[in-house]
Amino acid sequence: QVQLVQSGPEVKKPGASVKVSCKASGYTFTSFHIHWVRQAPGQGLEWMGMINPSSGFANYPQKFQGRVIMTRDTSTRIIYMEVNNLKSDDTAVYFCARGLGGVVTTIPRVFDYWAQGTLVTVSS
């Protein structure tokens, strides 16, 4: 069965970086985009970007360009997201999620399977 499992909680100081991992299993790893979505405490959902595990190409909304880097390791089936220059308002639960329909889809950026989430706390 499709499963996404993320790394554990992190506590970081402002200005630091954090790297969260997402391990995929139960499907063809290179056939589906992986997206990252975050949720600040008690708040809504915010999309941070996506990566094509086959090509390694990543796409970020303008808000996160230059501060977020998504990479993948096809040998271990792990996707990584690194967020640099952390601020207190980056405190959130970060989710990875699989894109519905595969890398060639007529309905892009819909998320059918999600991991459990990783709490990242940024505090001095």
> Which residue from 2, 16, 40, 110 is in contact with other proteins, where contact means CB under 8 A?
110
CA 53 – CA 102 distance, rounded (Å): 11
Residue 97 Cβ vs other proteins, minimum distance, rounded to whole Å: 8
Between residues 56 and 61, which has the closer beta carbon with respect to other proteins? Answer: 61
Question: Per CB under 8 A, which region of 18-26, 42-50, 71-79, 84-92 contacts other proteins?
Answer: 42-50
Which backbone phi and psi does 29 adopt, to 5 degrees? -55, -40
71 to 48, 56, 68: CA distances (angstroms): 13, 6, 10
94 by DSSP, 3-state: which? strand
> Which residue from 24, 51, 83, 115 is in contact with other proteins, where contact means CB under 8 A?
115
Number of Cβ within 10 Å of residue 70's Cβ equals 25
Binding positions for other proteins, rule: CB under 8 A:
35, 37, 44-47, 61, 95, 97, 100, 107-112, 114-117
